[in-house]
């Protein structure tokens, strides 16, 4: 058996044994906190000054996170705001309906995004800020247990980033809010999908889980932005809540250091463990092929 054939047979196990890949990847690590200053300072970047910071919601509904890239969400660290229990976020994904019910009210601004429906268990982080450039940027991912079964229905959770009262959590280049109904893989999966190029399926009822995260689906990394702000103070409220009832958690992850007056460069796309393994095997095979070719050349 030559070395290339031997690697094809045993390469995956060798990579796992060497720690080049892990199975499963490390789950996102959550540290809950309701300290508004800790939350804001965890995402604060350059060119921004903040003041008058407040948090409203359950202490268990918000916090900081690390190991986001290992879990597949495309953001390594930052803060998490949820409509329930932030400690439910780490994978593996074991159920379709992970829920934290905090018995708290909703939010009026979020209600305005879903006319005729009511919100519950809202978590909101609000503060004033000034921008050195007159611009604002920050990166985020939205995730929910309401994927995929409640996509394209009236029963899905809501979030928003309200800059001076106007939501800036929008699909790139549009005025369309980022939501379960506007970003999904369809219900059932593959049927009547909406902007599915931005959606990542993780539902155990639809072939998953593919990532070490409890939520059944999540978006790719988006950037919220506003340009040409007037001089002086502006107000931002980051908010998320359940809709209709307090069941099925949703979350928004906001990237550390990106709340800035200048844009932060893009982050890597989520990668499944199969993709990481394949990439590692491909690289090792390529290296073995080059070595064999060099040996043949040397003998000639």
Predicted pLDDT at 266: 56
The pTM for the full model equals 0.83
The separation between CA 89 and the C-alpha centre of its own chain, rounded to angstroms, equals 10
Considering the domain boundaries, does residue 294 fall inside one? no
271 versus 44: the higher-pLDDT residue is: 44
292 versus 83: the higher-pLDDT residue is: 83
* pLDDT exceeds cutoff 90 at 91: yes
* pLDDT exceeds cutoff 50 at 284: no
The string of pLDDT tens digits covering residues 190-238 is 999 999 999 999 999 999 999 999 999 999 999 999 999 999 999 999 9
Query: What total of structural domains would you count in the chain?
Result: 1
Structural domain containing residue 245: 29-270
Considering the domain boundaries, does residue 288 fall inside one? no
Closest CA to 263 of 208, 298, 224, 291: 224
* Cα separation, 63 vs 42, whole angstroms: 10
* pLDDT exceeds cutoff 50 at 1: no
Considering the domain boundaries, does residue 208 fall inside one? yes
The separation between CA 194 and the C-alpha centre of its own chain, rounded to angstroms, equals 18
Considering the domain boundaries, does residue 40 fall inside one? yes
- Could you tell me if residue 291 is left (phi over 0), alpha (psi between -120 and 50 degrees) or otherwise beta? alpha
Considering the domain boundaries, does residue 125 fall inside one? yes
> Looking at 20-34, 45-59, 61-75, which range is the least confident one?
20-34
CB contact at 8 A, 143 and 218: yes
The separation between CA 79 and the C-alpha centre of its own chain, rounded to angstroms, equals 10
pLDDT, mean over the chain: 85
Considering the domain boundaries, does residue 283 fall inside one? no
**Burial call 141-158: b when 16+ CB within 10 Å, e when fewer:** bbbbbbbbbbbbeebbbb
Query: How many residues does the structure list for the chain?
Result: 300
Considering the domain boundaries, does residue 7 fall inside one? no
Predicted pLDDT at 155: 83
Predicted pLDDT at 264: 86
pLDDT band at 265 (very low <50, low <70, confident <90, very high): confident
Predicted pLDDT at 199: 98
Cis preceding-peptide flag for 148 (omega within 30 of 0): yes
Considering the domain boundaries, does residue 275 fall inside one? no
Query: Three-state SS across 130-188?
Result: EECCCCEEEEEEEEECCCCCCCCCCCCCEEEEEECCEECCECCCCCCECCCCCCECCCC
* E-state strands within 183-291: 199-201, 217-219, 222-226, 234-243, 250-255
pLDDT band at 269 (very low <50, low <70, confident <90, very high): low
């Amino acid at each position: 058996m030559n070395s290339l054939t031997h690697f094809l047979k045993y390469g995956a196990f060798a990579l796992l044994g060497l720690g080049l890949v892990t199975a499963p990847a490390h789950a996102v690590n959550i540290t809950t906190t309701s300290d508004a200053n800790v939350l804001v300072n965890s995402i604060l970047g350059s060119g921004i000054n903040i003041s008058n910071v407040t948090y409203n919601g359950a202490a268990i509904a918000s916090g900081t996170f690390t190991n986001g890239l290992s879990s597949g969400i495309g953001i390594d660290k930052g803060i998490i705001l949820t409509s329930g229990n932030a400690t439910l976020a780490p994978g593996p994904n074991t159920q379709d309906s992970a829920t934290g019910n905090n018995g708290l009210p909703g939010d009026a601004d979020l209600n305005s995004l879903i006319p005729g429906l009511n919100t519950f268990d809202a978590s909101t982080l609000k503060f004033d800020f000034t921008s050195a450039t007159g611009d604002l940027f920050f990166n985020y991912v939205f995730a929910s247990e309401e994927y995929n079964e409640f996509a394209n229905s009236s029963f899905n959770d809501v979030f928003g980033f309200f800059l001076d009262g106007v939501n800036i959590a929008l699909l790139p280049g549009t005025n369309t809010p980022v939501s379960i109904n506007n970003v999904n893989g369809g219900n059932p999966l593959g049927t009547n999908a909406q902007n599915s190029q931005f959606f990542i399926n993780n539902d155990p009822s639809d072939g998953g889980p593919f990532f070490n995260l409890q939520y059944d689906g999540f978006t790719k990394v988006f950037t919220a932005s506003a340009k040409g702000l007037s001089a002086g103070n502006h107000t931002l409220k980051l908010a998320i809540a359940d809709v209709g009832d307090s069941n099925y958690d949703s979350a928004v992850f906001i990237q550390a250091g990106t709340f800035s007056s200048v844009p932060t460069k893009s982050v890597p796309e989520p990668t499944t463990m199969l993709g990481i393994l394949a990439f590692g095997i491909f690289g090792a095979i390529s290296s073995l092929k080059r070595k064999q070719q060099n040996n043949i050349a040397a003998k000639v």
